[in-house]
């Protein structure tokens, strides 16, 4: 099968001009087919503040009321997505920007209210890759914003790590897929404040042990849950690394492994 690399990049990297250009230069050099999924939370927060809209977060997750949904739709699906697409075009990469609503790519349901009402947050129920495969096979690079839809006209704010994992899983029956999560940190850290304390390899057993001890916590937990879910469903390899190490992911950061 042909190789496909799915890259999810954290918000700060694609929101600052210098780091975006450096990242896109590296992304361009990845061989084979590729997909880019991005965030944009810091920009959304800044623009919401300028519009007088309060940003509310619970355990690192954004509460998406209707006003906030308007902001993230404009920022994720517009400003950030199109800056990335334009940047790739400038480097000779034929890219196209998408949300989950485009091509009916990703359907989700509004997250049920339990202890917390997350508002218009979406939990993915279906990934449709039929048209996406045609585009990929033509050499086009899909750039996907973290927005989905419910099939009834409602857009939903959806975690970009989850989108990357679900997209990688859906494509794994057609391609040899590797998944890279890249952000500002060097990888999964043994000590959160020590960038040199990278855990080079992590399987599910060790992950459970570190999570129980509180070594791995907060936003790293859903990222790793998504990583292991991908490995269980056809994705060959998963790395978590610093964006500047994108081209040498296999020799840096944290390799996520299935239990032997």
Report the run of H or E that residue 109 belongs to, with start and end: strand 106-110
How confident is the model over 66-99, as pLDDT tens digits?
Answer: 999 999 999 999 999 999 999 999 999 999 999 9
Report the run of H or E that residue 95 belongs to, with start and end: strand 95-98
**Containing domain of residue 185, as a range?**
3-256
- Rounded Cα distance between 181 and 183, Å, is 7
At 73 the pLDDT is 98
- The order of strands in the sheet holding 254-256 is 95-98, 141-144, 33-38, 3-9, 176-183, 237-242, 254-256, 201-202
The pLDDT tens digits along the chain (260 residues) read 899 999 999 868 988 899 999 999 999 999 999 999 999 989 999 999 999 999 998 877 889 999 999 999 999 999 999 999 999 999 999 999 999 999 999 999 999 998 899 999 999 999 999 999 999 999 999 999 999 999 999 999 999 999 999 999 999 999 999 999 998 888 999 888 888 899 999 999 999 999 998 888 877 888 899 999 999 999 989 999 999 899 876 678 999 988 76
- Rounded Cα distance between 241 and 60, Å, is 20
Looking at the structure of the chain, the number of domains it has is 1
Written as one string, the DSSP assignment of 190-258 is: SSTT-TT-B-SEE-HHHHHHHHHTTSS-TTHHHHHHHHHHHHHTT--EEEEEEGGGGGGGGGSSEEE--
> Are 163 and 127 contacting, i.e. CB atoms less than 8 angstroms apart?
no
At 219 the pLDDT is 78
pTM confidence score: 0.94
We report the CATH number of the domain holding residue 242 as 3.40.1160.10
At 249 the pLDDT is 66
Chain centroid, CA 183 distance in Å? 10
How confident is the model over 52-67, as pLDDT tens digits?
Answer: 999 998 877 889 999 9
């Amino acid at each position: 099968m042909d190789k496909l690399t799915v890259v999810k990049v954290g918000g700060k990297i694609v929101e600052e001009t210098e780091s975006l250009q450096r990242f896109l230069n590296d992304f361009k050099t990845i061989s084979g087919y590729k997909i880019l999924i991005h965030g944009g939370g810091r920009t959304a927060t800044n623009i919401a503040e300028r519009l007088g809209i309060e940003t509310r977060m619970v355990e690192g997750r954004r509460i998406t009321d209707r006003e906030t949904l308007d902001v993230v739709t404009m920022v994720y699906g517009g400003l950030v997505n199109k800056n990335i697409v334009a940047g790739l075009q400038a480097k000779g990469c034929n890219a196209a920007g998408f949300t989950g609503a485009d091509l009916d790519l990703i359907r989700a349901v509004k997250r049920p209210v339990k202890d917390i009402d997350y508002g218009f947050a979406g939990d993915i129920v279906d990934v449709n890759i039929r048209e996406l495969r045609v585009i990929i096979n033509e050499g086009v690079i899909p750039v996907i914003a973290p927005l989905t839809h419910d099939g009834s006209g409602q857009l939903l704010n959806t975690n970009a790590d989850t989108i990357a994992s679900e997209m990688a899983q859906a494509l794994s029956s057609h391609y040899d897929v590797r998944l890279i999560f890249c952000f500002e940190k060097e990888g999964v850290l043994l000590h959160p404040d020590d960038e040199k304390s990278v855990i080079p390899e992590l399987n599910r057993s060790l992950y459970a042990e570190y999570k129980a001890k509180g070594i791995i916590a907060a936003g790293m937990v859903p990222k790793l849950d998504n990583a292991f879910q991908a490995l269980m469903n056809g994705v060959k390899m998963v790395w978590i690394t610093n964006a500047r190490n994108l081209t040498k992911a296999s020799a840096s950061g944290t390799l996520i492994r299935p239990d032997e």
